[in-house]
Structure formats: structure tokens, C-alpha cells
């Protein structure tokens, strides 16, 4: 019997995985992301994590939602393909 395939439609999200080690952070950010307005104008306890890792199997999706503080971010698909709607 070969390796098992993950169940379709599973999603995992981790907001703290990259916060502890700055060596894991991207070396440079696009100029549009240079200013961290959360860091400049919000107390530390109200700032959302700087990075978030999201993993999903085929057919994974999230329900329609609004992120805290109207947060928006950049997305990068490392493997496979993703359809943003």
C-alpha cells in the first residue's frame, strides 16, 4: 500500500510559527509593505501577527469572513494552484 493522500478540503492556519525567529522572515518586503501601520499606531497587544502560514489540501476553502481590523495581506502559492475569489 502506497502513501496516504490527505483528505480533500482540509485547511490549517498558523499565525505564530514565524514570529519567534526573524531569520525565517522574508529578507525584503515590497515597498508597499515597508510601513507597518499596526506597529506604528497600535499597542503591541492589539497588533496582529506579521506573518501567517496557511496550508490546505485540494478543494480546501474558507467561509466568507472579515479579518480583524479589516486586515489584508499578500498571498503566495508555493505548490499547486489556488483560485482566489
- Cα separation, 78 vs 69, in Å, equals 27
Q: What is the CA radius of gyration of the chain?
A: 16
Q: What is the pLDDT of residue 40?
A: 84
**pLDDT tens track of the chain, all 85 residues?**
677 776 777 888 777 776 667 777 777 777 776 777 778 888 888 877 777 778 888 888 877 777 766 666 777 777 888 877 7
- Specify the pLDDT at position 76: 75
Residues 6+ positions from 59 with CB-CB distance below 8 Å = 8, 9
In this prediction, residue 61 carries a pLDDT of 80
What pLDDT is attached to residue 69? 63
Amino acid at each position: 500500500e502506497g502513501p496516504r493522500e490527505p483528505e480533500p478540503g482540509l485547511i490549517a492556519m498558523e499565525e505564530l510559527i514565524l514570529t519567534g525567529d526573524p531569520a525565517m522572515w522574508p529578507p525584503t518586503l515590497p515597498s508597499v509593505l515597508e510601513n507597518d501601520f499596526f506597529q506604528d499606531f497600535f499597542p503591541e497587544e492589539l497588533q496582529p501577527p506579521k506573518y501567517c502560514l496557511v496550508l490546505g489540501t485540494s478543494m480546501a476553502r474558507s467561509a466568507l469572513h472579515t479579518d480583524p481590523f479589516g486586515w489584508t495581506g499578500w498571498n503566495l502559492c508555493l505548490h499547486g494552484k489556488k483560485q482566489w475569489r
